[in-house]
Amino acid sequence: MIRNAIFILSLLIISCQLNAQDGVHPKTLEVVIPGTDVSFQLALVPGGSYKMGTTKTKKNTMDEGPAFDVEVDTFWMGIYEVTYDEFIIYREKELDKPGEGNKNWNADAIVRPSPPYEDPTFGMGKDGFPAVSMTQFAALQYCKWLSEKTGDFYRLPTEAEWEYACKAGTDGPYYFKKAKALTEHAWYYDNSFEKYHEVGLKIPNNWGLYDMLGNVSEWTLDQYMGNAYTTMSEEMAGEINPWIKPTKLHPRTVRGGSWDDAAAEQTCTNRIESSLKWKERDPQFPKSFWWNTDSPFVGFRIVRPYIQPNMEERRAFWNLVLGG
C-alpha cells in the first residue's frame, strides 16, 4: 500500500513538472562528463501516444507498417548525435580522468574499443562532428561507460522512442510540413558534398532535436525484423515502450537516413537494416566487434530514462544487450 502511494505521488510530481508553465522543470539539461570539460545536452521528450509507422504501401516501405498506436514514457534524449569529442574520452584511456566526487574512478577497469583498422572518420571531421563507424556493440558499451561515469543510466533509444522523438508531435513521415523543406533540416546526398557535417547546423524539430534526419544514421536498441510492426501491433498490443529485444548479433535497426542517402530515405519512419557488408574490408579474423570499416554514415545518440532504473534493473539490461 505504501509503495503504491509513493509511486502514485511520484507520477503526480512528474505530471506537475511536465505541465509547469513557469520553467520549474527544465526542458533541457547540460551534462559535463566528469573529469573533463566536455559536455553534452539533453532535451526532454514528454511521454505520450502516437501512430508509429506509415500507411504507405510502396514496396520500399513495407517494413514501415502497418501503422499502429504506441505509447512511450517520458525520457531525455541527446539534442545532438554523440560527437567525436565525447566518444574519444571513452575510446582513449588517458583522457578518461576521475571527476569531482569520483576520485576512485578506475580507468583501467573499463572495457574499451580496440584500435580501429583505419581512421573511422575518413578525414571528414572530428571536433564538433558526430562520432561514426562504431558497431552497435561499441555504442552500447559507450552508454554503459557513460552510465558508470556519471551515475545516471544512459542507453540507446528503442525504435519506438526514436520515431516518437523524431515526429515530435506530428503524424507524418516528416516533422515539418513539406518535403521540399528537407534541405533546411537535413544533410543528405543532394546537399552534403559527400560527407557528414558538424552537429546542429540545420533546423531542429519541435522538441529541439537536431539532425534526426540526415547527417549520420543512428543505432537503436532493436533487433531488425521486416515484420516488426506486425509483431509489435499484435504480440505487444497495449504494451508501453515496445521493444524488439535482440536474440542474435545481426541485424539491428538503424534510423534517420544519412549524408550518403537519397532524400526519400530521410523520413521519421524509414528503417535501415544493419549489414555485415559494413565491415567487409576488415582483414581481421574474427572481424572487429567494435568497428565497421565501411559505415562512416552511422553514429548514435543517447537516451536517459526520466524514471531511472534501479541497479538490479540496470544489471539485467546490460546482461541482455551486452551479455554482462
What is the sign of the dihedral through the CA atoms of 276, 280, 284 and 289?
A: negative
Residue 60's pLDDT is what?
A: 53
pLDDT tens-digit map of 169-215: 998 889 998 878 999 999 999 999 999 999 999 999 999 999 999 99
**pTM: predicted TM-score of the whole model, two decimal places:** 0.91
* pLDDT for residue 17 is more than 80: no
SS3 223: strand
Q: Into how many domains does the chain fold?
A: 1
Give the residue carrying C-alpha cell 543532394.
190
User: What average pLDDT does the chain have?
Assistant: 90
pLDDT tens-digit map of 146-179: 999 999 999 999 999 999 999 999 988 899 988 7
Q: What is the mean pLDDT of residues 283-312?
A: 95
Question: What crossing angle do the helices spanning 311-322 and 136-150 adopt, rounded to 10°?
Answer: 160
DSSP H or E segment with residue 30: strand 28-32
Residue 15's pLDDT is what?
A: 40
Residue 172's pLDDT is what?
A: 84
Distance CA 288, CA 84 (A): 19
CATH number at residue 92: 3.90.1580.10
pLDDT tens-digit map of 76-94: 999 999 999 999 999 999 9
Quote the domain boundaries for residue 91. 2-322
Strand partners, 70: 50
Residue 59's pLDDT is what?
A: 54
Residue 26's pLDDT is what?
A: 56
Band (pLDDT 50/70/90 cuts) for residue 21 is: very low
DSSP H or E segment with residue 45: strand 39-45
